[in-house]
Structure 1
Amino acid sequence: MTARFTPISRRTITGSIAAACAALALGGNALANTWPEKTVTLVVPYSAGGPTDVVARLLAVPMGQSLGQTVVVENTVGAGGTLAPARIARSKPDGYTIMIHHMGMATAPALYKKLPYDPLKDFEYIGQVLDVPMTLLSRKDFPANNFQELQDYVKKNQDKVSLANAGIGAVSQLCGMLFMHQLGVKLTTVPYKGAGPAMNDLMGGQVDLLCDQTTQTAPVIQDGKRVKVFGVTTPQRLSSMPNIPTLDEQGLKGFDVKVWHGMYAPKGTPRDVMAKLNTALNVAIKDENVKKRIAELSSDLVTPDKATPEGLRKHLAAEVARWDKVIKAAGVSAE
């Protein structure tokens, strides 16, 4: 017996394909409409209590309220802040694991010869968050009382002076390296596992100097009892602490280190999910409590045009190029 096949018209095939595509689209929209259905994890590359951690915890609450789910902050510490980006780059691109990171995303390619991720290729960009100036501090009983005295003392006693940082590859290390480079000195550097422990030892008198973000240093500067401050790292003085001169105006010409922060997701995270994450970020940076607390930390939340995927993408690319030149000129390396 010969089998008979009913011919299928091109119109029928085309209709079937269209129906299937429509079903997939509806399924995708349904997924986007229900996301998130569980807790979102916001990964921080540094220790609890440090500057980036402080910012993450401030943002987590209003972001969670916008998303309708809890946003949990999780610290993935190590390798100068490169473990967390490596983790995010390998994470499932479903929007449930995201990251906040500072300018270390831009400096890492120049600092590390074998970086396990590419900041410009392996992530989706949620948006910029804020800019944070840095300050140069010493223990309270350090012999110098102003920047000129600090320069003189350091140059004469460089083998006796210790300079703390938040870990190899951290921005505080970079700031300290540039400080030494411009003064032409080599101090004993003491890396810690985060800015919090470094600050604790500075206040305790175990180390001499530390260059760190105002999110960490502003409270101890303002109480005036536990550290000395020698200058801010931005070209202009801070409106919140106008009496503190810049390092630039005190002789370190061109010294400009401002720590910017951005938020990232794994490459391939669905566009609709990214849109929700961006909306949540913008809700957070407009939150009155967040604005108040960030101002108290002498920092600046970004304008809405920067809190966008494109704003972060362009800024990151420009910063990678900028710091590549600066780091190579200074001879700084994390390896």
Structure 2
Amino acid sequence: MKTLKALFGVSAALAVSLLATSALGQTYPERTITMVVPFSAGGPTDTVTRLVAEAMSKDLGQQIVVENVGGAGGTLGAGRVASADPDGYTLLLHHIGMATSATLYRKLAYDTLNAFEYVGLVTDVPMTIVARKDLEPTDLKGLIDYMKANKDTVTVANAGIGAASHLCGMLLMSAMETQFVTVPYKGTGPAMTDLLGGQVDVMCDQTTNTTKQIQGGTIKAYAVTSPARLDNLPDVPTAEEAGLSGFQVGIWHGIYAPKGTPADVTERLSKSLQVALKDPNVVARFAELGTAPSAEEEATPTALKAKLEGEITRWKPVIEAAGQYAD
């Protein structure tokens, strides 16, 4: 009899829990949501996040507040979300660094693949290989020759370990089979400022950060890393066209929630993301930045999880070959 009562009690508790979870999904959201950007304000990922957050806010009927939690290549912000309550009110929008940090950092406060629930992919931003406007080479082949000949003095800027520009720089070194002098900064802004001022020579960064400078002629563009030329940078060849065979890299972005967030909630967020990515303002602003919203079938938990798993596998040998780890 005691065993039957115990089983009944467990069943009742489970039923109450399931009802509570279902109710949460039906009423969510009831208050302001925080979306964490693991980088400083004003950077490329921050720009993408604010556009998407505004559009999702309209669909969800509740405001999404963007919070910048920078530091340690995005791992501080990711760790903050990993340890947050799994109720759907604290989210993370992170880029490709979510995958590379699994190898790049020797010690993480979270298990990259198992500490989060997945919402969906947001966009895949092309990169640009750029330099100070008075650098001598006039095309990518000339730049490669120049960098190899001056590998001990040429400086390659990045926005810090784990930043998109750092990752692209490592891939560039791998493709050219040459090590360069890298100059890490505390964010994209100061790195671009020094490139504009001629204090550093080269940078590989997202179109969301370089397009206006390229169009204004304040930096020199050698290539884009997309499969085809970009509509807003039609005169800039692809890396493939310019002679760097197989060099294609995009800085994809995705939205995550803490592990244990109810499936109904992540599904609601995914549907909202799909609506947001069709918003005319998002589409237009993304186009200005040289990118496009992810397709509806990519803005799903399944697609984001598969992307993250595949990218961890892809970047592991690149990072190991470069030997640029962080504690």
TM-score, scaled relative to structure 1? 0.89
Shift of 1:14: 9.0
**1:225-280 Cα shifts (integer Å, max 9, x gaps):** x1000111234322332321122333322212111111000000112211221122
Aligned Cα root-mean-square deviation (Å): 2.4
Pick the aligned partner of 2:73 from 74, 80, 88.
80
Structure 1 residue identity aligned to 2:104? L
Show the counterpart of 1:135. Answer: 128
Structure 1 residue identity aligned to 2:109? P
Shift of 1:161: 1.7
Shift of 1:18: 7.2
Is the CA contact (8 Å cut-off) linking 1:131 and 1:258 kept in structure 2? Answer: yes
Is the CA contact (8 Å cut-off) linking 2:129 and 2:202 kept in structure 1? Answer: yes
Question: What pairs with 1:30-41 in structure 2 (closer than 5 Å)?
Answer: 30-41=23-34
* Unaligned ranges ≥5, structure 1: 1-7
Question: Does residue 297 of structure 2 align to residue 305 of structure 1?
Answer: yes
Is the CA contact (8 Å cut-off) linking 1:124 and 1:264 kept in structure 2? Answer: yes
Pick the aligned partner of 1:175 from 168, 171, 174.
168
Question: Does residue 50 of structure 2 align to residue 53 of structure 1?
Answer: no
Show the counterpart of 1:103. Answer: 96
Question: What pairs with 1:226-245 in structure 2 (closer than 5 Å)?
Answer: 226-245=218-237
Question: Does residue 202 of structure 2 align to residue 212 of structure 1?
Answer: no
Percent identity of paired positions between Structure 1 and Structure 2: 53
Change in Cα spacing, 1:14 to 1:97, as seen in structure 2 (3 Å) is closer
Show the counterpart of 1:4. Answer: none
* Unaligned ranges ≥5, structure 2: none
Matched residue of 1:149: which SS? helix
Q: For 2:267 and 2:130, how far apart are their aligned partners in 1?
A: 40
Show the counterpart of 2:312. Answer: 320
Change in Cα spacing, 1:143 to 1:117, as seen in structure 2 (3 Å) is same
Q: For 1:11 and 1:115, how far apart are their aligned partners in 2?
A: 45
Pick the aligned partner of 1:63 from 53, 56, 71.
56
Structure 1 residue identity aligned to 2:234? P
Matched residue of 1:300: which SS? coil
Pick the aligned partner of 2:241 from 239, 249, 256.
249
Q: For 2:14 and 2:136, how far apart are their aligned partners in 1?
A: 73
Change in Cα spacing, 1:255 to 1:334, as seen in structure 2 (3 Å) is farther
Is the CA contact (8 Å cut-off) linking 1:107 and 1:323 kept in structure 2? Answer: yes
TM-score, scaled relative to structure 2? 0.91
Matched residue of 1:82: which SS? helix
Matched residue of 1:142: which SS? coil
Change in Cα spacing, 1:246 to 1:28, as seen in structure 2 (3 Å) is closer
Change in Cα spacing, 1:204 to 1:22, as seen in structure 2 (3 Å) is same
Show the counterpart of 2:283. Answer: 291
Question: Does residue 196 of structure 2 align to residue 203 of structure 1?
Answer: yes
Shift of 1:28: 3.6
Q: For 1:313 and 1:178, how far apart are their aligned partners in 2?
A: 23
Change in Cα spacing, 1:289 to 1:110, as seen in structure 2 (3 Å) is same
Aligned residues: 327
Shift of 1:221: 1.2
Show the counterpart of 2:112. Answer: 119
Matched residue of 1:242: which SS? coil
Change in Cα spacing, 1:250 to 1:27, as seen in structure 2 (3 Å) is closer
Change in Cα spacing, 1:330 to 1:12, as seen in structure 2 (3 Å) is closer
Is the CA contact (8 Å cut-off) linking 1:108 and 1:169 kept in structure 2? Answer: yes
**1:298-331 Cα shifts (integer Å, max 9, x gaps):** 1121111110001111111111111123333444
Show the counterpart of 2:83. Answer: 90
**1:280-308 Cα shifts (integer Å, max 9, x gaps):** 21111010100011011111211111100
Structure 1 residue identity aligned to 2:325? S
Shift of 1:333: 3.1
Q: For 1:255 and 1:22, how far apart are their aligned partners in 2?
A: 53
Shift of 1:76: 0.8
**1:8-58 Cα shifts (integer Å, max 9, x gaps):** 999999998877666555444433333222211110111111111000000
Structure 2 residue identity aligned to 1:317? E
Show the counterpart of 2:183. Answer: 190
Question: What pairs with 1:142-161 in structure 2 (closer than 5 Å)?
Answer: 142-161=135-154
Matched residue of 1:135: which SS? strand
Matched residue of 2:120: which SS? strand
Structure 1 residue identity aligned to 2:99? A
Q: For 2:142 and 2:206, how far apart are their aligned partners in 1?
A: 23
